[in-house]
Amino acid sequence: MCLGIPGQVVEIVDAAKKLAKVEVSGVRRQVSLACIVSDEHPIEACIGDWVLVHVGFAMSRINEEEAKKTLELLMELGEAQKELESMQSSHDINLVGNS
Amino acid sequence: MKYVDEFRDPELAKTLLAEIERLLPQIEATKHRPLQLMEFCGGHTHTIFRYGIEQLLPKTIELVHGPGCPVCVLPMGRVDDCVALAERPEVIFTTFGDAMRVPGSKKSLLQAKADGADVRMVYSPLDALDLAKKNPNREVIFFALGFETTMPSTALTVLQAAEDGVQNFSLFCNHITTVPTIKAILDSPSMQLDGFVAPGHVSMVVGEEPFHFVAARYKKPIVITGFEPLDILQSIWLLIKQIAEGRCEVENQYARVVTADGNTPGLKAIAKVFELRDYFEWRGLGSIDHSGVKMKEAYAQFDAEKKFSMPNLTIADPKSCQCGEVLKGAIKPWECKVFASACTPETPMGALMVSSEGACAAYYNFGNLPQIMALKLEQEKLESEKIS
């Protein structure tokens, strides 16, 4: 719950509701960008951003290298697998496959 | 036990450890007692055990594991309320997976589900809101749990529900707050802490400012810390450095994620939906002033506590379970009578054994169990000799 997981914003789903698809380790799901958009960084500018996702909300923008390192560590800890499983088991996911 | 080679940068880890060793003799207090540093967050506790950080540190540093695991500090009465809500025929009760196995006085949510209650694990509160939209004839309740890290997500979900005019969605709000809890720990006469490893993702939301009182009023150093083993080691070095140099400041080791002001949209959403409770009951720690939030009157229609009646009883923990003493740092997990015997991660009696972030589960999974059990036996032998 408190660790979060890094992912990359790949597609805007609903600009008004600030919803986007974020890809984490090959799994895509809908995530709210409400906590990271601002006048200086509107939702359209978020595509390609690496973000730290907590319970379906992007909470912080992070750099790509950092994101990859963190993901690697979470995999090692077994935390990433748990998080991905829970992302996928939730009733409404937008899964495009486990590449 | 893990070794320094497992760190991402073993050389840096060795340098940090050497620096810590070098600074310690400059600290007068270490001649009489170990320095006690508290990591507040359960995520940190998990990393500390997973990488055996305690074993790497000199004996003059003791890590005290704080109460920052929301599942672990949930009182039994609250779990009973969840079960009562879940057992209502019109209700779909949604929760994060972590809370499913926490024992209530009669059953956990997992047992309630096995008995026929409609309990569903969700990844996000937004999934619970979707479920409400798809099931207009059912009442969907989301079990809102966690510190400030998860508060923006539930606040924004309620704001979305209000905007979409959803009538059959509510929160059972059990969010807890970090700062009043740290204050209660600092005010406790039995706690003689020398510094704090502050939670990284709580700080990501609230920023640096709320921690200034720890340094200013209580004269304790505090370092906002990330979750990698090297982050924790670096923060311990920063704390030791502050103590050696006689400084008390808020330092931010996790600047790659935490900004000084925190997350503004998240804080705005929290302020809109939630307000402080006068007090909140914690497992093991008792009642702490202002340590929880409830929903503001304007959002009463989304407040499960107002919408449904529930037992709302205070239930004492089972006598043999000593989660409270462990949470307060009065005993180590293995000193609890039921540790690894009646209470294991498979059949937990206390909440600290349920969550992987709980201190007992961490000791059980990553501690040196044979050595711990030998110590435990020895202690029990001594006690029985004392009695006879």
Q: What is the pLDDT of residues B320-355, one digit of tens each?
A: 888 878 877 778 888 898 999 999 988 888 878 888
B124/A36 CB distance under 8 A: no
C-alpha to C-alpha distance for B60 and A58, rounded to whole angstroms: 40
User: Within B2-124, where are the H helices?
Assistant: 10-23, 42-50, 53-56, 76-86, 109-114
Closest among B23, B3, B7, B4 to B236, alpha carbons compared: B23
Q: In this complex, is the C-beta atom of A1 within 8 Å of any C-beta atom belonging to chain B? A: yes
A24 has which bridge partners? A27
Count CB atoms within 10 A of the CB of residue B211.
25
Mean pLDDT, residues A43-57 taken together: 96
Quick one: pLDDT at residue B58? 95
Interface TM-score (ipTM) > 0.85: yes
Q: In this complex, is the C-beta atom of A89 within 8 Å of any C-beta atom belonging to chain B? A: yes
The pLDDT of residue A96 is above 90: no
Residue B246 CB contacts under 8 Å (≥ 6 apart), including other chains: none
A38/B265 CB distance under 8 A: yes
Nearest to A32 among B42, B126, B130 (CB): B126
Quick one: pLDDT at residue B387? 67
pLDDT in tens, B82-116: 999 999 999 999 999 989 988 899 999 999 999 99
Quick one: pLDDT at residue B44? 94
**CB distance B123 to A82 below 8 Å:** no
Q: What share of chain B is helix, strand, coil (3-state, %, to 5)?
A: 45, 20, 35
Q: In this complex, is the C-beta atom of A12 within 8 Å of any C-beta atom belonging to chain B? A: no
B84 has which bridge partners? none
The pLDDT of residue A95 is above 50: no
**CB distance B334 to B369 below 8 Å:** no
CA-based nearest residue in chain A for residue B263: A35
Element (H, E) at B250: strand B250-252
Residue with the larger pLDDT of the pair B172 and A87: B172
Quick one: pLDDT at residue A28? 93
Q: Is B217 left (phi over 0), alpha (psi -120 to 50) or beta?
A: alpha
What HEC string does B189-243 produce?
CCCCCCEEEEEHHHHHHHCCHHHHHHHHCCCCCEEEECCCHHHHHHHHHHHHHHH
Residue B18 CB contacts under 8 Å (≥ 6 apart), including other chains: none
Chain A residues whose CB is inside 8 A of the B145 CB are: 1
C-alpha to C-alpha distance for B185 and B176, rounded to whole angstroms: 15
A27 has which bridge partners? A24
Class of domain A5-87: mainly beta
B323 has which bridge partners? none
Domains of chain B, each with CATH number or no CATH:
1-316 (3.40.50.11740), 323-387 (no CATH)
Closest among A37, A15, A33, A26 to A80, alpha carbons compared: A26
C-alpha to C-alpha distance for B243 and B221, rounded to whole angstroms: 7
A32/B156 CB distance under 8 A: yes
Quick one: pLDDT at residue B149? 96
C-alpha to C-alpha distance for B336 and B273, rounded to whole angstroms: 40
The residue written with tokens 């009951």 in the block is B281
A2/B41 CB distance under 8 A: yes
**A29, A30, A43, A55: which to substitute to probe chain B, counting the most B Cβ within 10 Å?**
A55
Closest among B25, B232, B55, B263 to B223, alpha carbons compared: B232
C-alpha to C-alpha distance for B215 and B213, rounded to whole angstroms: 5
Residues counted in chain A: 99
Residues counted in chain B: 388
Mind listing the pLDDT tens digit of every residue in chain B (388 residues)? 345 777 778 899 999 999 999 999 999 999 999 999 999 999 999 899 888 899 899 999 999 888 888 988 888 899 999 999 999 999 999 999 989 988 899 999 999 999 999 999 999 999 999 999 999 999 999 999 999 999 999 999 999 999 999 999 999 999 999 999 999 889 887 778 999 999 999 999 999 999 999 999 999 999 999 999 999 999 999 999 999 999 999 999 999 999 999 999 999 999 999 999 999 998 878 899 999 999 999 999 999 999 999 888 888 877 888 887 887 777 888 889 899 999 998 888 887 888 878 889 988 888 777 777 777 777 777 777 776 6
**CB distance B114 to B89 below 8 Å:** no
**CB distance B326 to B343 below 8 Å:** no
C-alpha to C-alpha distance for B94 and B107, rounded to whole angstroms: 17
C-alpha to C-alpha distance for B301 and B307, rounded to whole angstroms: 7
Quick one: pLDDT at residue B346? 86
The pLDDT of residue A90 is above 80: no
Q: In this complex, is the C-beta atom of A66 within 8 Å of any C-beta atom belonging to chain B? A: yes
Element (H, E) at B387: helix B369-387
Quick one: pLDDT at residue B3? 58
B269/A34 CB distance under 8 A: yes
C-alpha to C-alpha distance for B63 and B82, rounded to whole angstroms: 34
Chain A residues whose CB is inside 8 A of the B70 CB are: 1
- Nearest Cα of chain A lies from the Cα of B230 at a distance, in angstroms, of 11
Quick one: pLDDT at residue A91? 47
Quick one: pLDDT at residue B90? 98
